[in-house]
Amino acid sequence: MTVWRKSTYTGDGNNCVEVGHGVGIRDSKAPATHITLSSEAWTAFLKVVRAR
């Protein structure tokens, strides 16, 4: 079973992106589907997000 985490910036809202360790990302409004990411792709994504 995958544990999905929401960003601490989400607050009490349900309109967010969730991250599942080793699985990928998903939209909290459509939890039945997700996008699988390699660890390299996840690292590249975080690098871009942090640079903004």
Two structure tokens written together for 51 = 């640079």
Task: For residue 27, give every residue at least 6 positions away whose Cβ sits within 8 Å of its Cβ, in sequence order, or none.
Answer: 17, 18, 33
d(Cα 37, Cα 14) in Å, to the nearest integer?
22
44: confidence class by pLDDT, cuts 50, 70, 90 = very high
- The pLDDT score that the predictor gives to residue 13 is 67
The answer, yes or no, to whether residue 14 has pLDDT greater than 80, is no
Q: Which strands, in side-by-side order, build the sheet including 17-20?
A: 4-6, 17-20, 24-27, 35-36
pLDDT tens for each residue of 23-43? 788 888 888 889 998 889 888
pTM exceeds cut of 0.75: no
